[in-house]
Structure 1
Amino acid sequence: MDPPPSFEEKFGTRVCKLKKYLYGLKQSPRAWFERFTQVVKKQGYSQGQADHTMFYRHSQKGDDVDEIRCLKEHLALEFEIKDLGPLKYFLGIEVARSKKGLMVSQKKYVIDLLKEAGMSGCRPADTPIDPNVKFGNKEGRLVDKGQYQRLVGKLIYLSHIMPDIAFAVSLVSQFMHSPMEEHEEAVFRILRYLKSSSGKSLFFKKSEQRGTEAYTDADWAGSITDRRSTSGYCTFVLGNLVTWRSKKQSVVARSSAKAEFRSMAQGICEMMWLKKLWRT
């Protein structure tokens, strides 16, 4: 690396030797994960090829409580960690368990978001977006770009748990660079919908059902500005919804069939990834 000013005058041609990674550098997450990977692999775990952040080790006991305890103890020797017990709340995500399965919601996150936007007492909406809305007006009053980006960013995080707002959020996120009044109104419509659906949650049930399923769909030339279509898919594993996505296609489809085939291709890729993940 280049020495800092006046370094050579005092120390000559010597260089700095990095002893400790500093938090905040771009390389620090990668360096930390590399260290974590080495420690976990020494315990006999394998790194998933479908998802490199997943480490696994097969056991004949199913949920091996003793192995979990041993891993925690070993990690405590290598890193400064704290055992918070069974997962109940993490990064705005609430988790509740029962004999029938697992429920995941973001009710508190939604309430805090409505309070931040000043819409705690707003009138609820039945749907997250008007099904007939078309954003194509290039003329209009620009709105506060910073506030718009903050709200949409929080909605994007919410869409990771709430599939019902995925399409609406993907639509409003296309105008982050120059939001106008009509786009802001669409964001407020999503917030009004959240007012009526904050208590909803994803339920992962215990099921004897086996297999993986996927459903895909697409509109054709849904965007009136660039005539591109929007793809959407959702996948189910053991009868439970696990992944979903709604995104504008990268190229213009010349027919509705091509738009559907592109959407189907994305759904198949997701299925292949899930099956590869499942086989580990």
Structure 2
Amino acid sequence: MVKPTTVRLLLSLAVSRGWSIRQLDIHNAFLNGQLAETVYMRQPPGYEDKLLHNYFLVYVDDILIMDSDSDRVTTLIDKLALELKVRDMGVPSFFLGIEIVLLSGGMLLSQQRYMKDILKRAGMVDCKPVITPVSSVKITDDVAVPYADPTQYRSLAGALQYLTVTRPDLSYDVNLLCQHMHAPTTTDWVSLKRVMRYVKGTLNLGLRISRSTSMDIHAYSDSDWADDPNDHKSTSGFAVFLGSNLISWIFRKQRTVACSSTEVEYKGLADIYMQKLHGSFLCYMKSASLLRLLLDYGDYPNPSPKAKTNTLSAARSQEPQQPAVPAANPSTCSSVEAANPASNKINFRPPQVS
């Protein structure tokens, strides 16, 4: 099954390189999917040619095919049609619940239909919208009152998780909501409804993917310090860009308690560097042949990764201060603009692989 990061990464490459993109639907995919043995797949002939690339994004019976040659895409679809009942849907417009709106110089990934469905499930179609997903006044209760319908809370919080596929501006707030799934309180329910009201007011937002001339990977990281009053753990977040396009992001609690704000920032940087760039992120890209694809299209002399920050006091004494970036207004910008922090930055160029 294709992962959201892979979808965003390959769409970014396709837009930047002018690849042909076609969407297919396979009828009765489950009937054709009974396998009693392990199946190994090999890259098709021609993959080694840097000028010719074809990639499949497969989720059950929904498929996106990308290739640098549109004729090769047509030929491949014709061959698939000889073996399976295939419906050629042409240029993709709706994939995995995500609307793909073609724009000049790129595309917009929108989940507007999905947002309206969530609001309908919550009975908040006509709710009053707000401009921020979290109240500026922190709500605290002396006595926690369990929410009467925890199943409803878990259902809506889980639905909001999938919305973060194209809405990075919701990732932090949804992460907080999901931390209370086991025993939600009335206060948690109020916080969830606040997020729903924010969704109501931002139905037009989505993730824009634009044509980019750069294939460099840039990562931004930021952390709070002991913000959770219960366990005093900090929350870290990062955003990874391929060129000018946002392709990966996450917010999560750190595993241990930090003794200072400097320590928590270093932990955030170490987490993104070791686990996402040097670790699982690159291993995942390599296993999917995406790292080699980046190497084919980028000029990577194999330098060491460089980290820059404007929040750590230790770094301030060694590097020039970077100008602050004003907070984005969610009502006047796309999601990618609202989720582009300038706090901690790692400039990373993938190493060469043989």
Normalized per residue, the structure richer in strand is 2
Q: Deviations along 1:9-48, whole A, 9 cap, x unmatched?
A: xxxxxxxxxxxxxx69xxx79x59954x53xx273377xx
CA shift in 2, pair 1:138/1:236, >3 Å: farther
Contact (CA 8 Å) 2:105, 2:210: kept in 1 or not?
yes
CA distance in 1, matches of 2:256, 2:46: 42
Alignment pair present for 1:247 and 2:247: no
Aligned residue for 1:231?
A: 236
The Cα offsets for residues 71-99 of structure 1, whole Å up to 9 and x where unpaired, read as 32333344443322211012321001123
Letter in 2 for 1:59: L
2-side partners of 1:271 and 1:33: how far apart? 34
* 8 A Cα contact 1:234 1:245, kept in partner: yes
Going from structure 1 to structure 2, the CA distance change for 1:224 and 1:242 (only over 3 Å counts) comes to: same
Aligned to 2:111: 106
- 1:67 Cα deviation (Å)? 2.1
User: Does 1:151 pair with 2:143?
Assistant: no
Percent of residue pairs identical: 32
How far the C-alpha of 1:194 sits from its partner, in A, is 0.5
Distance 1:32 1:173 in 2: 37
Q: 1:133 to 1:226 in 2, by over 3 A?
A: same
Contact 2:101–2:108, Cα closer than 8 Å, also in 1: yes
Matched, 1:279 2:284: no
Match of 1:116 in 2: 121
The 5-angstrom pairing of residues 25-64 of structure 1 reads 31=35, 35=39, 38=41, 41=42, 43-44=44-45, 58-60=50-52, 63-64=68-69
1:262–1:136 Cα change, 3 Å: farther
Name the structure with the higher helix share.
Answer: 1
CA distance in 2 between counterparts of 1:251 and 1:233 reads 18
Aligned residues between the structures = 243
Point out the more displaced range, 201-210 or 213-222. 201-210
TM-score (norm 2): 0.61
- 3-state SS, counterpart of residue 259 of structure 2: coil
Task: Rate the CA distance shift 1:143–1:100 in 2: closer, same or farther, 3 A.
Answer: same
**For 1:155-210, what per-residue CA distance to the aligned partner results, in whole angstroms no more than 9, with x for missing partners?**
00001110111000000001111111010111100000001101012111113344
Partner of 1:270: 276
Aligned partners of 2:245 and 2:161: how far apart in 1? 22
Deviations 1:124-180, CA, capped at 9 Å, x for gaps = 111111255367866213331111111001100001110111000000001111111
CA distance in 2 between partners of 1:150 and 1:45 (Å):
46
Tell me what 2:165 maps to. 160
Partner of 2:194: 189
Residue of structure 2 in register with 1:218 after alignment:
223
- Within a 5 Å distance, the mapping from 1:52-131 to structure 2 comes to 58-60=50-52, 63-131=68-136
Tell me which amino acid in the other structure corresponds to 2:152: Q
> Does the CA-based 8 Å contact 1:234-1:243 persist in structure 2?
yes
Distance 1:43 1:75, change over 3 A: farther
Deviates more, 1:175-184 or 1:269-278: 269-278
- Of the structure 1 ranges 187-196 and 136-145, higher mean CA displacement relative to structure 2 is found in 136-145
Computing the radius of gyration from Cα coordinates, the structure with the larger value is: 1
In 2, Cα distance between the equivalents of 1:120 and 1:159? Answer: 20
CA distance in 1, matches of 2:49, 2:128: 50
Describe how 1:200-215 pairs up with structure 2 within 5 A.
200-215=205-220
Q: Which moved more, 1:83-92 or 1:216-225?
A: 83-92
**61-70 or 193-202: bigger deviation:** 61-70
Which consecutive residues of structure 2, in runs of 5 or more, have no partner in the other structure?
1-29, 54-66, 294-354
**Kindly tell me: are residues 204 and 42 of structure 1, through their superposed partners in 2, closer, same or farther at Cα, counting changes over 3 Å?**
closer
- Give matches, 1:164-175, under 5 Å: 164-175=169-180
How many angstroms does 1:117 deviate by? Answer: 0.9
Cα contact 1:231–1:246 (8 A) shared by 2: yes
Q: Which runs of 5+ in 1 are unaligned?
A: 1-22, 47-55
Q: Would you say the 8 A contact 2:139–2:187 is kept in 1?
A: no
CA RMSD of aligned residues (A): 2.9
TM-score by length of 1: 0.76
Q: Report the Cα distance in structure 1 between the residues aligned to 2:142 and 2:37, rounded to whole angstroms.
A: 46
Contact 1:135 1:223 survives alignment (8 Å): no
